[in-house]
Amino acid sequence: MKITDLKCAIIGDNPIVRITTDEGIEGLGQAEWTKPYLKPFVLYYRDAILGQDPTDVERVISRIRRLGSFKPWGAAVSAIEVALWDIAGKAAGVPVYKLLGGKVRDKVRVYNGGIRVPLKGNDPEHYAENMAEMKEFKEGFSIIKQGISFHSQMAAEVPNYFYGELPKYDGPPRGGVRPPVGGPLTEQGLKHTIACVEAMKDVLGDEVGLALDCGPGMTVHDTLRLAKALEPLNVMWLEDTITGDYTPYVLPELFREVQMQTSTPIHTGEQIYLRQNFKDLIESKAVRVIGPDPLDVGGIAELKWIAEFADMHGIMMAPHGVADGIIGIAAHVHLAATLPRNYIAFEYPAGKPEWWYDIMDGLPDPIVENSHIKVWDTPGLGVEFNVKEAKKHLSDEDKGFFD
């Protein structure tokens, strides 16, 4: 079997990869809907993989892996890798999880990061109300993540929140890439943050876990102060406080300085590309939870390797996935089914726009029940386009995507 073409279309804001072969088997991959600018980066790799056997996934990816980088650019390599596994599974007549070593679990836990209710304000009562609404979602999420501090509007809208300035940006929307914000919190800012977390925990009690996305942008000492203050609340983790989302470096020694002094789990990893860039973070035990995204880290096999390595060091796994879309859900499910016992849950992404659920077939209905997704047995990823419906959403530039 040989690869005959690599195509990429932007459907909605989702970069979609389609790899075709001389045997008529095709594979699908996806990047986050926050990256509509990614198409030329995907197509950059086309000539490097044409004529290769797509079922030799590692051989094909080794031709392009070194040309990726930290989020967002590793997403192009990752989407291609997922599409190759889709082809390999279909060619073998087995679901992708079989090619990754087989199932450890028949259903996989997800947490809510992608189905949101808009906050009506930045005060503790607004956070409590918001959490109460999400607690009642039909998916029955057992863990809910909420943005606070520099991963929220607190810095911009809460008076005297931090010692610093908000950067000004007057250009066009940039696909989810925010100008960097950060600095030391004022005492008022720290107390406000703690009060909002306490309000959310009062609503959730011990029935639903609360995870907190915090930055990047916090200082080491503020991260430690917040982590120590929240110890009695048993939050799931504090995510990306110091570095993280769209930060092209890790600084594990700074995370370790915090983690060694608190029982509150510290979490990072969504921006990191490849296992080598997790090595110091894991070996130094700088955090208690890591959250690589299979659509940024280099693919699903890369994430599985990292999960096994983390497990040997007592570090938990909560993969990032908030914007990974419908094909991303399928990749996450097959991957999570095979991960070791350090797996907590993956961040559930929603189809965006809503019509994505009308153009894809193969997911269970309902998708999430009691915070879990049942693992299906369809060959490959097990999801396919309803081409007739999907064509309605192609731009003129991408009209030939399904040809």
Provide the 3-class DSSP secondary structure of residue 271. Answer: coil
With beta carbons less than 8 A apart as the criterion, state whether 56 and 10 touch: no
Residue 256: exposed, middle, or buried by beta-carbon count in 10 A (0-12, 13-18, 19+)? middle
How far apart, in Å, are the Cα atoms of 163 and each of 90, 159, 215, 239? Answer: 55, 11, 15, 21
Strand partners, 5: 20
Q: What is the CA radius of gyration of the chain?
A: 21
pLDDT at residue 180, rounded to an integer: 82
Locate 160 and state its tokens: 């005297």
Locate 210 and state its tokens: 């609360």
Backbone angles phi, psi at 177, to 5 degrees: -85, 110
Residue 252: exposed, middle, or buried by beta-carbon count in 10 A (0-12, 13-18, 19+)? buried
210 in the Ramachandran plot: left (φ > 0), alpha (ψ -120 to 50) or beta? beta
Q: Which of 223, 211, 220 is nearest to 320 (CA)?
A: 211
pLDDT at residue 178, rounded to an integer: 65
CA atoms within 13 A of residue 288's CA, in its CB half-sphere: 15
- Domain 3-93+387-398 = CATH 3.30.390.10: yes
Alpha helices in 236-299 (DSSP H): 252-259, 279-283
- What fold is seen in the domain 98-381? TIM Barrel (3.20.20)
Give the whole-angstrom CA distance, residue 284 versus residue 265: 15
| Helix-strand-coil split of the chain, %, nearest 5 | 35, 15, 50
Residue 341: exposed, middle, or buried by beta-carbon count in 10 A (0-12, 13-18, 19+)? exposed
Structural element, H or E, at residue 389: helix 387-390
Contact partners, residue 217, CB within 8 Å, separation at least 6: 149, 150, 155, 180, 181, 182, 183
Looking at the chain, the domain(s) classified CATH 3.20.20.120 span 98-381
Structural element, H or E, at residue 309: helix 300-312
Looking at the chain, the domain(s) classified CATH 3.30.390.10 span 3-93+387-398
pLDDT at residue 179, rounded to an integer: 74
pLDDT at residue 168, rounded to an integer: 73
pLDDT at residue 343, rounded to an integer: 98
pLDDT at residue 166, rounded to an integer: 87
Residue 257: exposed, middle, or buried by beta-carbon count in 10 A (0-12, 13-18, 19+)? middle
**Interstrand relation of 3-11 and 209-213 (parallel, antiparallel or unpaired):** unpaired
Angle between helical axes of 74-92 and 300-312 (0-180°, round to 10): 100
Give the whole-angstrom CA distance, residue 24 versus residue 227: 53
pLDDT at residue 154, rounded to an integer: 96
- Write out the chain's pLDDT in tens, 403 residues: 999 999 999 999 999 999 999 999 999 999 999 999 999 999 999 999 999 999 999 999 999 999 999 999 999 999 999 999 999 999 999 999 999 999 999 999 999 999 999 999 999 999 999 999 999 999 999 999 999 999 999 999 999 999 998 887 665 544 455 678 999 999 999 999 999 999 999 999 999 999 999 999 999 999 999 999 999 999 999 999 999 999 999 999 999 999 999 999 999 999 999 999 999 999 999 999 999 999 999 999 999 999 999 999 999 999 999 999 999 999 999 999 999 999 999 999 999 999 999 999 999 999 999 999 999 999 999 999 999 999 999 999 999 999 9
pLDDT at residue 118, rounded to an integer: 94
**Interstrand relation of 360-361 and 372-374 (parallel, antiparallel or unpaired):** unpaired
Give the whole-angstrom CA distance, residue 363 versus residue 175: 27
Give the whole-angstrom CA distance, residue 354 versus residue 47: 34
CA dihedral 282, 287, 293, 299 (to 10 degrees): 0
Write the DSSP symbol of residue 168: P
